[in-house]
Chain A
Amino acid sequence: MSVIEIKELTKYYYIGRNKVVIGLENVSFNVEEGEIYGILGPNGSGKTTCLKLLLGILYPTSGEISILGKNQFDIEMKKNVGFLPENPYYYDYLTGPELLKFYGKLFEIPDKIINKRIEKLLFLVKLHEVKKLALKHYSKGMLERIGLAASLINDPKILILDEPTTGLDPIGCIETRDLLIQLKKEGKTILLSSHFLSEVERVCDRITIFHRGYLLATGKLDELIQKYKAEGLEDLFVKTIQEFDQKGEKK
């Protein structure tokens, strides 16, 4: 069953009167319940634009989005979604538990449950020993981890993660990867945007490759590798992008 459905989604950015920059062009894909779905693409390919559209932060130029059968602005739907932005910035005067409590209250979760979840999540992301430390003293990796905890505060059905391992050291990356696999086992659906190919290769059930706002390929990794006669994800990634750029040059 599809929990996220994107149909012919287009987003144009208007710069000045006549200049239009393509954020996304006619993109369609579905994310099935319980899978980890990876959005791959170089910088500026439209990954973050796609996630912002999904969360109702941006408005689409055209196209449709359905998450758990509701549109992207539906408040009830958002109660079932967790989001980790790229390079997360939070209110730096708050401590980790204060931040989690603030977000938890926005989900109208009772205090008793929030407090239990905060304890559990701080252990999960290994920040339980720095409970009294304000976020302004956190390292980039710690911010990423508290961001991940914040995205789980509502025990969401769908987790949307934008570059979740940016700023993490190799151990942190492995731990995050393991956590994603564990969350999948718990039944959560994860939509992951990344330009770290090895990360995507190891955790994602299906992938999609974006480039310059266009969706170039989508499907299971092994099927795509066969289709494009590639030697691995890296080769597939380069081939699809080069093919697209060559077509563009010919035009």
Chain B
Amino acid sequence: MKKAWLIGLNTFKESLRKKTLYILLVVAFVVIGASKAFSFLTAEEELKMIKDVSFSGIEFFGALIAIFISLTAISNEIEKRTIYTLFSKPITRQNFFIGKLFGTILILLLNFILMSLFFIGLLIFKKSPPDIQVFKTLLLIFIELILIGSITLTVATFASDAFNVIFSFFLYIVGHLTSYGNQLADRTENLILKGLWKVLYTVVPNYENFNIRDKVVVGIDVSWQYVFKTGIYGILYLAVILLIGSYFIQKREI
């Protein structure tokens, strides 16, 4: 695990040098900051607006960063041929894969903390310090981001960057729609459509499970039990994804 951590730290340092990362971060700050522009609303409505836009911004830009960083974490090593030297060292391919995941999580964590601090600063500025519900929402968003990043990283073990980026965005969109799709499937008479949505609902990660912002913004409390259950769902899904990634990186010819 120590070797994986070393590879993770190296991935983290390498990712910090990517300009796209900073561009995404700046745009995220602008979007979160722009939520304050609705000054014509009442104070309560404005606060809801800030929370809604900020949660969405953190989730969306976090997802972009997760996909972007994971996408290139493995392919860069192959393209630049640094992987040859790395694989000649006493590390397993699983060390390498888990290390890449650690690095991705670290860079995600840094960006997530920066965006969250900006949002919390905004709330404090509005004299409405964040309550525990805000932190629950942020926690679930972060778990979702880890899941998005790890899926992209896993696909990177066997597919091209072009396929991976399309697949990851497709999955991101479908992952937010599976719940609605499942409800529609229950109502439809079309057996093919019904079957297709049921399969998608089972296989595709249900990212909407991690979305409690709609409730939190309007003041509905979400229990710790729900947060815990959803966290477990995320961890189990992550474990399956990691097994798949480990299998493919082991098989891969470089």
Name the residue on A nearest B6 (C-beta). Answer: A105
* A78 close to chain B: CB less than 8 A: yes
Are B85's CB and A83's CB within 8 A?
Answer: yes
* A123 close to chain B: CB less than 8 A: no
Are B10's CB and A91's CB within 8 A?
Answer: yes
A144 to chain B, nearest CB (A): 13
Measured CA separation A106–B83 after assembly (Å): 13
Pick the residue among A90, A107, A108 that contacts B85 (CB under 8 A): A90
Are A78's CB and B90's CB within 8 A?
Answer: yes
Measured CA separation A108–B81 after assembly (Å): 23
Measured CA separation A90–B3 after assembly (Å): 18
The binding surface of chain B is classed by DSSP as helix
- Given A75-B90, A76-B90, A93-B17, do A103 and B253 touch, yes or no (CB 8 Å)? no
Are A58's CB and B14's CB within 8 A?
Answer: no
Interface residues on chain A, number (Cβ under 8 Å)? 28
Q: For residue A76, which residues in chain B have a CB less than 8 angstroms away from its CB?
A: 90
* B87 close to chain A: CB less than 8 A: yes
Q: For residue A83, which residues in chain B have a CB less than 8 angstroms away from its CB?
A: 84-85, 88
* A59 close to chain B: CB less than 8 A: yes
How many B residues touch the partner, as a band?
A: 20 to 34
Q: For residue A75, which residues in chain B have a CB less than 8 angstroms away from its CB?
A: 90-92
B242 to chain A, nearest CB (A): 20
* B127 close to chain A: CB less than 8 A: no
Are B84's CB and A52's CB within 8 A?
Answer: yes
Q: For residue A107, which residues in chain B have a CB less than 8 angstroms away from its CB?
A: 89-90
Are A91's CB and B82's CB within 8 A?
Answer: yes
Could you list which residues of chain B lie within 8 angstroms of chain A, going by C-beta atoms? 2-3, 6, 10, 13-14, 17, 80-92, 253-254
23 A-B pairs whose Cβ atoms sit less than 8 Å apart in the complex:
A55-B87, A56-B87, A57-B83, A57-B88, A59-B253, A75-B90, A78-B88, A78-B89, A78-B90, A81-B88, A83-B85, A85-B84, A85-B88, A87-B81, A88-B81, A89-B80, A90-B82, A91-B10, A93-B14, A103-B85, A106-B89, A107-B90, A108-B3
